[in-house]
Structure 1
Amino acid sequence: MSSRTSDRIATGVFIAIAIIIISLLVGLFYFILINGFKYISFHFLTTPSSSLMPGGGIRDQLFNSFYILLITMVITVPLGLGGGIYMAEYAKPGKVTDTIRSCVEVLASLPSIVIGMFGLLLFVTSTGWGYTILGGALALTIFNLPVMVRVSEDAIRAVPHDIKEASLALGITHWHTIKTVILPSAFPSILTGAILAAGRVFGEAAALLFTAGQSTPRLNYLDLNPFSPMSPLNIFRPAETLAVHIWAVNTQGLIPDAREVANGSSAVLVLSVLLFNLLARGIGSLVYKKMTATK
């Protein structure tokens, strides 16, 4: 077999794989959206759910999902970025560093149900908080932190050494070089890792079942006092997210229109993830241009 024929076969195989992957994604999105988009309405998005009467909405679950996402990323990104900087720039090669890296990889492969049980023991029972938004966010932080560390480390290591050496040759300190030269260059890859971690937060249910709970108290969205029991900003209240709501609706079957609510919630979840990705990439692009003074 000639090299040209081998090249054509390999090209065809990779194109076929790409078509299969794209077809699966398009088919999945089409199935979810075509079955759920017709149930999405202003009433559906702005009314609380009801376990007794049909026609309930997902207002509280949608807010809880974004609120837990915000708190989780506020905790995850600084810790993950700091861990990535340490592993890439400060950790010396050796058994200790290899052990830390192995532990991070093992933690990244743990099932979410295990993280949920650990969160139940530590953030629910031991602290005495009960089911809370903060407990769910901390459990998701454990879930996403290894991914953020590895992505940050790889992004920093991918920055050309010439850029770093040129900065150090000008007499700039190591930390200032990391802050003003390396991080801006690695920002697109770090942003991608943050978006991947955020996507896992949107779709996670198992860990939140045991930490954030399966219910939401009656909320007053005009009450912005974070210490009020009825305030949506209270991080020490239970919070059912959209993914948990979809699971509960399909398994408990208490809502008369369970199928419609589940289909509509699934479509909203997919659209929320898509919208978040687009907004994050758009904002990240503006930040990157400002950090690097590019047009």
Structure 2
Amino acid sequence: MKAKTADRIAISVIVGIAVLIIAVLASLLGYLLIRGLSHVSWHFLTSAPENIKAGGGIGPQLFNSLFLLVLTMLITIPLGLGAGIYMSEYAKANRLTNFIRLIVEVLSSFPSIVVGLFGFLVFVNLFEMKYSLMAGALALTVFNLPLMVRITEQSLRGVPREQKEAGLALGLSKWKTISSIMLPVAFPTIVTGTILAAGRVFGEAAALLFTAGMSSPRLDFTNWNPFSQTSPLNPMRPAETLAVHIWKINSEGLAPDAPEIAAGASAVLILIVLLFNFGSRWLGRVIYRKFTATK
């Protein structure tokens, strides 16, 4: 077989596989969105299930998902940044460092259900947090922390070595070089990775079944006392998130319009995850252009 013929065949196979994958993803997303968006309305997004006669509404679940996301990222971002900076700039190249990197890689590939069981044993039972948003946030921190560490480490390692050496040559301390030279250059990539990690948190369900719970108290959105059990700002209350709600309403089938509720909630969840992905790319490009002064 001639080289040009083999090259055309290889290109055709690769293009065909790419088109097949895109077609499958587009058809899946199109089916879910077309089926679900017809059931989405402002009332559906803001009302509680018990406030609608047919059993619909995802208002509390949507709020719980956003609140859980904020709690998780408030814990994950400082720990991930600190660990990533240490692994990239301070840790020596030895067996211990290699072992830590191996552990990070293993944790990043753990099934979420295993992380949920760990959270149930440690946070819910051992620390007696019971089913709560905080227990769910800590479990998702364990789930997301390896990704955040790797993103930060790889972003800092991607900074040109000359820039780091120039800062040290000017007499800057190591931390000043990292904070003033390396982090601004790596910041766009870190932001992109952080938003993608946030999207993973928003769509997670398995780990939350064992930590945040599958039910929520009736929330009073006029009560902003974080110590009250009915306050939406109480991090120690059980909370059913949007992803868990989709699983629960499909498995129980108690609501008369369960398929419509699940379809609408799935469409909302997909749109939010897509917004996270597109938003991370857009924000990363904007920040990169700002730091590099490119158009």
TM over 0.5: yes
Q: CA deviation at 1:290?
A: 5.0
Instruction: Name the CA distance, whole Å, in 2 between partners of 1:259 and 1:152.
Output: 41
Offset from partner CA, 1:19-71 (integer Å, 9 cap, x none): 22221221111011011010001111111013994142000000111111111
> Aligned in 2, Cα 1:260/1:85: closer, same or farther, shift over 3 Å?
same
SS at match of 1:50: helix
> Aligned in 2, Cα 1:173/1:117: closer, same or farther, shift over 3 Å?
same
Contact persistence 1:53–1:255 (CA under 8 A): no
SS at match of 1:182: helix
Instruction: Name the CA distance, whole Å, in 2 between partners of 1:222 and 1:281.
Output: 36
Q: Which residue of 2 aligns with 1:196?
A: 196
Contact persistence 2:192–2:284 (CA under 8 A): no
Contact persistence 1:184–1:288 (CA under 8 A): no
Over aligned residue pairs, what C-alpha RMSD do you find? 1.9
Q: CA deviation at 1:11?
A: 2.8
Offset from partner CA, 1:260-287 (integer Å, 9 cap, x none): 1000000010111122334444445555
Q: CA deviation at 1:158?
A: 1.5
Contact persistence 2:196–2:280 (CA under 8 A): no
Offset from partner CA, 1:61-98 (integer Å, 9 cap, x none): 00111111111111111111211111111111110001
Q: Which residue of 1 aligns with 2:121?
A: 121
Contact persistence 2:193–2:280 (CA under 8 A): no
Q: Which residue of 2 aligns with 1:32?
A: 32
Q: Which residue of 2 aligns with 1:244?
A: 244
For 1:177, the aligned partner's letter is: T
> Aligned in 2, Cα 1:11/1:138: closer, same or farther, shift over 3 Å?
same
For 2:24, the aligned partner's letter is: L
Q: Which residue of 1 aligns with 2:212?
A: 212
Contact persistence 1:132–1:236 (CA under 8 A): yes
Paired-residue identity, %: 58
Contact persistence 2:192–2:283 (CA under 8 A): no
For 2:232, the aligned partner's letter is: P
Contact persistence 1:53–1:256 (CA under 8 A): no
Contact persistence 1:52–1:254 (CA under 8 A): no
For 1:217, the aligned partner's letter is: P
Q: Which residue of 2 aligns with 1:98?
A: 98
Instruction: Name the CA distance, whole Å, in 1 between partners of 2:101 and 2:151.
Output: 12
Instruction: Name the CA distance, whole Å, in 2 between partners of 1:91 and 1:202.
Output: 32
Instruction: Name the CA distance, whole Å, in 2 between partners of 1:116 and 1:265.
Output: 22
Instruction: Name the CA distance, whole Å, in 2 between partners of 1:132 and 1:286.
Output: 37
Instruction: Name the CA distance, whole Å, in 1 between partners of 2:287 and 2:75.
Output: 20
Q: Which residue of 1 aligns with 2:84?
A: 84
Instruction: Name the CA distance, whole Å, in 2 between partners of 1:21 and 1:175.
Output: 45
Q: CA deviation at 1:166?
A: 1.6
**Greater mean deviation of Cα atoms: 165-174 or 275-284:** 275-284
1:232 has 2:232 as partner: yes
Instruction: Name the CA distance, whole Å, in 2 between partners of 1:161 and 1:75.
Output: 30
SS at match of 2:38: helix
Contact persistence 2:76–2:144 (CA under 8 A): yes
Instruction: Name the CA distance, whole Å, in 2 between partners of 1:239 and 1:225.
Output: 17
Q: Which residue of 1 aligns with 2:142?
A: 142
Instruction: Name the CA distance, whole Å, in 2 between partners of 1:294 and 1:66.
Output: 34
Work out the number of aligned pairs and report it: 295
Gaps in structure 2 of 5+ consecutive residues: none
1:166 has 2:166 as partner: yes
Q: CA deviation at 1:293?
A: 5.6
Instruction: Name the CA distance, whole Å, in 2 between partners of 1:181 and 1:100.
Output: 26
For 1:229, the aligned partner's letter is: Q
SS at match of 1:217: coil
Instruction: Name the CA distance, whole Å, in 2 between partners of 1:3 and 1:178.
Output: 49
TM-score normalised according to structure 2 size: 0.93
SS at match of 2:256: coil
Q: Which residue of 2 aligns with 1:70?
A: 70
1:182 has 2:162 as partner: no
Q: Which residue of 1 aligns with 2:60?
A: 60
For 1:216, the aligned partner's letter is: S
For 2:239, the aligned partner's letter is: A
Instruction: Name the CA distance, whole Å, in 1 between partners of 2:230 and 2:51.
Output: 20
For 2:204, the aligned partner's letter is: E
For 1:198, the aligned partner's letter is: A
Contact persistence 1:52–1:255 (CA under 8 A): no
Instruction: Name the CA distance, whole Å, in 1 between partners of 2:177 and 2:4.
Output: 47
Gaps in structure 1 of 5+ consecutive residues: none
Contact persistence 1:51–1:254 (CA under 8 A): no
Instruction: Name the CA distance, whole Å, in 1 between partners of 2:52 and 2:32.
Output: 25
